[in-house]
A and B are shown apart, each in its own frame.
Chain A
């Protein structure tokens, strides 16, 4: 029988759940927990410099390792500062547990100092949330939170812990965990419906213009081998959402590139002309589908998703299959044994058609001797890292350039805010990835706009020796917004110029890091090599690039998948 305080239970429960890294920021309501944390030898605490950064770091840790990301912040502003990060994780279904301090239970509702209704504020952006009422709720709710965060469709779970629940003077018997967590109201479906799988397998086997569409669900469930096996077996063309990149190797000849608003010409055309879309763990977001009424007019849609609410939400599925992507794809592999596989020859005409779209070479762009193009930065880093780095991005043009020009061959290598589109996400996410993957090269592609949204975390990196390589695609503007202003707002440039940026190199040095400035295309490769060679240093490579570059290709709003702008004119 172990007697302990609520604060000690927080620490012990996390230890029992195998947590080795906790991202956090202390404050009044969590003082007791921080005191108890000093006794832990198993949990390493990473002190961020802003709660938003703390929570994004937990997110980046979760995405890159597949484990649950955990963060601890204080009540009131500590909790509200995590809101953007929670929403980011929610939109991309990232398993995270957010522990928030709360004022003591007798003070709740009294507008006490640093009191905010955390559970209420976060309600629409969490998978679930708990407000502890006593010390013994703490282990129970944290265990349930981990289970909920990491099972079914993953997502963030908030556990709000009032200060009197963690009081050191009140000690209780620690309830050891007995068996797995069970909740009678929560039983996510893993296994797909057998009849549906059979029907879908037959449809796929008989199709002549099929395409496989891989999404974040395939990434999260780890359906890597399964996706690749099925694609190879049927010689399927494969496309991916932003969140699915890396599930299927981008350098493979069957890969058509990302689809959607800034997808490739071949991927979007293949979608438009397909007779069967085999969608694995994606939710047909509006950035993917363009105009729903013109979406894939000829296709039957097979839609696998663990969340029944994602099926037929936007695009009506002809064969819906609720289940875990990995499990369901294994069922497919079994089901295929019953079919005579059509020869790869059957798709010859389809591949010939695709070859014509590919021939357009939609990612081609013009380089010049004096001005660095953003695309070539991504390509140069891709080459210098052999495509093996973990890449975090912020949001904007550089994000799309990364998705299009860095060829991800492995899962969990791209950390990017897809659903919420959170500027300021990338740098702290890279911190989380660097903490969770000390042996990997972690790079950040960011913009001069995005980077300044969580720039304070440079200090965190110095404290924990996180040698992140930061490439600022510095065009002195909010590039993506400017692109829209130029294309759709008659060229009116409204509040998108960033003419008062700091000297990022000097800034890096002020924080105790290294910085390199690049302005000429001929210096680009050398600077990247030099940065990557500084293995134990964080390096900011500030690269002045073309302000007027546009992310192309681009779908025409209101059109079908294949209605696209391919070039500037």
Chain B
């Protein structure tokens, strides 16, 4: 089962490597990971997407808690309505000739994606949505045009309502 784990931790040298190291040491899987300082520069926030049933995630959560730098850990199944999650995608595509360029432009309009860079033969498209929608968009793009390269940010998530890591 797809699970999102949010971690609030000290923004210190080596803190991220301890988190990542823990996953490999204990044989847990990281699908993707995002990390950045919060509004309080002494703190960082990490969002990890992993696979596993409830008991595996509970074990991961406990082990993460054990890391001295970690302040708070929270997890959420992605199918629950409790979390807002987004991922950013950049895709560089071949865009040659008026017809193809128009078709890609139309596709972007339908998906509410943006063209953020152009050259005579290339577009860079930007798309922000859930991982599921990013997959769908990418598939649609690939059917329209030749994909040169893609980059995805990994999931960034925040809990709905009052549930907060900063309390």
Contacts and interface: CB of A to CB of B under 8 A. Distances in A.
A123 B18 contact: yes
B13 interface: yes
Interface string A97-135: 000000000000000000000011001100111010000
A313 B59 contact: yes
Interface stretch (A180-188, A445-453, A544-552): A180-188
Contact of B17 (A120, A186, A307): A120
B65 A148 contact: no
Contacts of B68: 127-128, 148, 183, 185-186
A119 B14 CA distance: 9
B69 interface: yes
A131 B14 contact: yes
A360 B20 CA distance: 51
B71 interface: yes
Contacts of B25: 124
A162 to B, nearest CB: 13
A307 B70 contact: no
B63 interface: yes
A309 B71 contact: no
Chain B interface mostly = helix
B17 A309 contact: no
Contacts of A148: 68
A129 B62 contact: no
A364 B129 CA distance: 71
Contacts of B18: 123
Nearest to B13: A131
Contacts of B71: 184-185
A185 B68 CA distance: 6
A552 to B, nearest CB: 34
Interface residues of B, number: 18
A183 B62 CA distance: 18
A309 B63 contact: yes
A397 to B, nearest CB: 31
A312 B62 CA distance: 11
Contacts of A131: 13-14
A308 B10 CA distance: 21
Contact of A309 (B10, B21, B65): B65
A123 B65 contact: no
Interface in B111-140: none
B63 A123 contact: no
Given A128-B68, A185-B68, A309 B62 contact: yes
B66 interface: yes
B62 A123 contact: no
B59 A124 contact: no
Most buried by B among A148, A185, A308, A309: A185
Interface string A339-372: 0000000000000000000000000000000000
A55 B26 CA distance: 26
Nearest to A119: B14
Contacts of B62: 308-309
B6 to A, nearest CB: 15
Interface string B1-25: 0000000011001100110010001
B42 to A, nearest CB: 9
Contacts of B65: 308-309
A309 B9 contact: no
Nearest to A313: B59
Given A124-B21, A309-B63, A185 B13 contact: no
A336 to B, nearest CB: 29
Interface string A136-152: 00000000000010000
A129 B62 CA distance: 19
Most buried by B among A127, A131, A309: A309
Contacts of A129: 14
10 A-B pairs with the lowest CB-CB distances in the bound complex, closest first: A309-B62, A128-B68, A185-B71, A124-B25, A308-B62, A186-B68, A309-B63, A309-B66, A123-B21, A185-B10
8 contacts: A124-B21, A124-B25, A127-B68, A131-B14, A148-B68, A183-B68, A184-B71, A309-B66
Given A129-B14, A185-B70, A313-B59, 11 more contacts: A119-B14, A120-B17, A123-B14, A124-B25, A128-B68, A131-B13, A184-B71, A185-B68, A185-B71, A307-B66, A309-B65
